[in-house]
């Protein structure tokens, strides 16, 4: 899907294998290492990542916001960290916070002048956000941001889904929003 001058893609690959300026870490608010994709990112990035986080963001960052660090030992130059919301049944502002996480990542990428960014599925792992609700929200949020910001520096936004169920959910959601009137 093309939105203004930005390609929006969904691929069935690891986010960490993407040729992108930045990958997105579905972080915890403390920006500490952990399990899942965060653990993989911290492990691959090396010791410089926690040191940079401690220096720049010792208090972490609130849910729904995003911050940027270097990529360290990763092939990507940057990592954008965003804590998504934990799922509490959908009645505690989870949708607004998840949309804010995606928007904040795009804003950080634009401010840094990045040309490409690779997302994982934020909050759908241990945080329990239902994939069927998260995928359309993520894609609509990114689409709406790109429509509202034709001057964006981003030329490519990719949703890299490693798991088959994640990939299928994002492809389905992508087909649904692609059919919506612009």
Residue 88: CB atoms within 10 Å: 12
Element (H, E) at 134: helix 131-148
**Tell me, what's the pLDDT at 182?**
38
Counting as low any pLDDT under 50, the low residues of the chain are: 181-182
All domains in the chain, ordered by first residue: 2-177 (3.40.220.10)
Residues 6 or more apart whose Cβ sits within 8 Å of residue 28: 34, 38, 60, 83
């Amino acid at each position: 899907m093309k939105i203004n001058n930005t390609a929006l893609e969904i691929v069935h690959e690891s986010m960490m294998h993407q040729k992108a300026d930045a990958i997105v870490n579905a972080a915890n608010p403390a920006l500490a290492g952990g399990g899942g994709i965060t653990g993989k990112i911290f492990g691959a990035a090396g010791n410089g990542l926690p040191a940079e986080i401690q220096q720049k963001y010792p208090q972490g960052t609130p849910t729904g916001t995003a911050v940027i660090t270097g990529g360290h030992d990763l092939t990507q130059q940057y990592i954008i960290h965003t804590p998504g919301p934990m799922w509490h049944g959908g009645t505690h502002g989870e949708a607004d916070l998840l949309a804010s996480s995606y928007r904040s990542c795009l804003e950080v990428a634009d401010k840094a002048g990045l040309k490409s960014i690779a997302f994982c599925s934020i909050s759908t792992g241990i945080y329990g956000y239902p994939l069927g609700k998260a995928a359309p929200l993520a894609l609509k949020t990114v689409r709406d941001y790109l429509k509202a910001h034709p001057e964006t520096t981003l030329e490519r936004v990719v949703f890299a889904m490693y798991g088959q169920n994640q990939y299928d959910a994002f492809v389905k959601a992508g087909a649904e929003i692609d059919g919506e009137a612009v």
